[in-house]
Amino acid sequence: MSSALAAARFASVLDAIGHTPLVRVHLPGVPEGVEIWGKCEWFNPGGSVKDRTARSLVLEGERGGALRRGLTIIDSSSGNTAVGLALVGRARGYAVELVMPESVSADRRRLCEAYGATLTLTPAFDGSDGALEEVRRRVDAEPDRYFYADQYRSPANPLAHYRTTGPEIWEQTGGRVTHFVAGLGTTGTIVGTGRYLHERSRRVQVVAVEPDEPLHGLEGLKHLPTARVPEVYDPGVEDVKIHVRTEDGYRTCREALETDGLLIGHSAGAALWAAREVARRAKGPARIVALLADGGERYL
């Protein structure tokens, strides 16, 4: 982390979101002349990349007038966006209701409750789509009670990454990034970051990472062919799609811990596995940035 950031003073915890470091990752099997860097998103105050999304959803809601005092923020989440919304909602003074599958880790639930959010759990078998349907039922029943953050449909989701994640990566690599690798969940991260990087240089390859089957253990990622596709998804942004097995994602988490002391989450392991595949296919020198969405302490 730069000395400037280490000495920074912020008026609000929300101003501390972003500015996350790039860390070199030394996985075995990476060819000579190819570098893999991890964008370490657990440095955000809520512990994940979804802090960026949550801040954007809430602040854009306020700017547009859809979010005002007296309304309750509501959304569905498989975990990290829930924590981000609980944090941002508390910081901005709003009540927050969250709907999530009962399979979400107990640690994430406790974090949300510690920030003051009210939780509703839906059947694990219904996955994130079941939680999404429950939120939309509630909003339809009481539209005057809620501000629906709606991470799957709101343009504020990819906008967060167009405004922050993409510019940070470009600046941190001195414009020398050749590949950006990120998982597909709500898809806002890859859409927003990819759009920004493509605007800076069409030579940057945007690589989307997806589980290889519907029933997988890569929490936070979606198998889009069998899931409800988020409305913010723009398949035209990605240049390459790589499918990852759950076991390979988990194994790469262990490798990153052994080689670099990085304790990362499962979706981050999947992104690093895909980044190594990209490295092996690269023709000549490359600088690959993998989005490491969160740390491994929430998966212990």
Q: Is 50 a catalytic residue?
A: yes
Catalytic residue among 78, 128, 154, 267: 267
What b-and-e string marks burial along 24-54, b requiring 16 or more CB atoms within 10 Å of the CB? ebebeebeeebbbbbbbbbbbbbbbbbbbbb
What b-and-e string marks burial along 84-94, b requiring 16 or more CB atoms within 10 Å of the CB? bbbbbbbbbeb
Q: Is 267 a catalytic residue?
A: yes
Distance CA 150, CA 148 (A): 5
- Per DSSP, 31 falls in state P
Choose among 160, 147, 113, 115: nearest CA to 17: 160
Q: How many CB atoms lie within 10 A of CB 276?
A: 24
Catalytic residue among 39, 48, 50, 222: 50
SS3 291: strand
Catalytic residue numbers read 50, 267
